[in-house]
Amino acid sequence: MTREAFAESVHVRAPGKINVYLGVGGRHDDGYHALATVFQAVSLYEDVIATDAPDFTLSVTGVDDPSTVPVDDRNLAMRAAKMLASATGYEGGVHLELRKSVPVAGGMGGGSADAAAALVACDALWGTGLSPQRLHELAARLGADVPFALHGGTAVGTGRGDQLNPALARGRFDWVLVTSEAGLSTPEIYARLDAHRTEIGALADDPPMSLDVPIPVLQALRAGDPHSLAASMFNDLEVSALLERPALDDIINEGLHAGALSGIVSGSGPTIAFLCETPDSAQYVQGELQKNGRTALHVHGPVPGARIIS
Ligand code: C5P
């Protein structure tokens, strides 16, 4: 039994992510789409504190509107804890305290980070000692982005986004994130993409079920070159996020005008991620966007995945 098994509480931190590249292919029968994506974990974190308890309970801090985060089985962190208990035969419960910094329904994988952190925290708290492979399997059952939140760094995701391979990334990339008060629903953004493609006649008969990340994206990451990465960043979901929320286009233009190298919708949005040349230029872009009344954060990537803080 590990030392942590005797602790009364365990604190785990897991990062939010940006999809530097997100190619979306056809829809499988289960509703999930074939993906080829590159995730980068960035320095905006979810903190999960797991404390011994007889039942399964959850509380949330760090959100403006608590009603946006369920505290029951709809919460992915709660599902993660229960899944780990049933997979290991653990008979007790846990109280999960979620301290959120990643925007809710923002396209940055905040809920997935909570689930990854909950898995790692409960595994340590309960002394269940799962192998990284078993943790990955449970993470993939919880959601397509959860395995990446466990691993962090920069990684290529294929399949439904859950088959991960590390990508080489040199140095650090500076990002400015502009968050929006109201989130977007991921399933709705995928559905809108399907509808849009049908409307324009694309992918009608033969949607690709296996996609690759373009080589220039991987080369830019390997070279640590923000200019090349800016030129090759892409997100298939951007068109549907912009159809749903046309005002996002104004944010992209403001960031580019302020000197960002490129701006992209993060995941299913509505967070916009701007890639900047240097930490100084990111600070400048952040300041300009704030002057326009935007909520802008300067973060960097890659950073590690879910890890125990104490
Ligand atoms: O797995 P996760 O809970 O993050 O997915 C949320 C929703 O996003 C899914 O229910 C599905 O509608 C959509 N999705 C998809 N294809 C993927 C990943 C997610 O259609 N590869």
Which domains occur in the chain, in start order? 9-310 (3.30.230.10)
**Helical residues (DSSP H) of 171-210, grouped into ranges:** 186-200
Quote the ligand 1 centre to 115 CA distance (angstroms). Answer: 15
Say which of 17, 114, 123, 174 is annotated catalytic: 17
162 and 30 Cβ atoms separated by less than 8 Å = no
Beta bridge partners of 35: 24
Q: Which residue has the tokens 């967070």?
A: 271
Q: What local confidence, expressed as pLDDT, does residue 69 receive?
A: 94
Q: What local confidence, expressed as pLDDT, does residue 210 receive?
A: 85
Token readout for 66 is 């608590």
Token readout for 157 is 């995701």
Sheet strands (E) in 102-162: 154-158
Say if ligand 1 is within 6 A of residue 145 CB: yes
Say if ligand 1 is within 6 A of residue 187 CB: yes
Q: What local confidence, expressed as pLDDT, does residue 284 receive?
A: 98
Q: Which atom of ligand 1 is nearest to the CA of 109?
A: 4
- Determine whether 100 is an active site residue: no
Say if ligand 1 is within 6 A of residue 186 CB: yes
Eight-class DSSP state of 65:
-
Say if ligand 1 is within 6 A of residue 144 CB: yes
Q: Which atom of ligand 1 is nearest to the CA of 160?
A: 21
Average pLDDT over residues 62-80: 95
Q: How many secondary structure helices (H) and strands (E) does the chain include?
A: 10, 12
| Distance from C-alpha of 140 to C-alpha of 138, rounded to nearest angstrom | 5
Give the count of beta carbons closer than 10 Å to the beta carbon of residue 227. 12
- Encode pLDDT of 126-136 as tens digits: 999 999 999 99
Q: Which atom of ligand 1 is nearest to the CA of 187?
A: 12
Quote the ligand 1 centre to 143 CA distance (angstroms). Answer: 7
16 and 297 Cβ atoms separated by less than 8 Å = no
| Distance from C-alpha of 78 to C-alpha of 94, rounded to nearest angstrom | 9
86 Cβ neighbours under 8 A, 6+ residues apart: none
Q: What local confidence, expressed as pLDDT, does residue 305 receive?
A: 98
Task: Give residue 109's region: left, alpha or beta (phi > 0; psi -120 to 50).
Answer: left
Q: Which residue has the tokens 């993939």?
A: 140
Say which of 47, 114, 123, 145 is annotated catalytic: 145
- Encode pLDDT of 232-286 as tens digits: 999 999 999 999 999 999 999 999 999 999 999 999 999 999 999 999 999 999 9
Q: Which stretch of 36-50, 206-220, 289-303 has the lowest confidence by average pLDDT?
A: 206-220
Average pLDDT over residues 102-131: 96
Mean of the per-residue pLDDT values of the chain: 95
Quote the ligand 1 centre to 191 CA distance (angstroms). Answer: 10
- Determine whether 291 is an active site residue: no
> Which amino acid does the sequence have at 66?
P
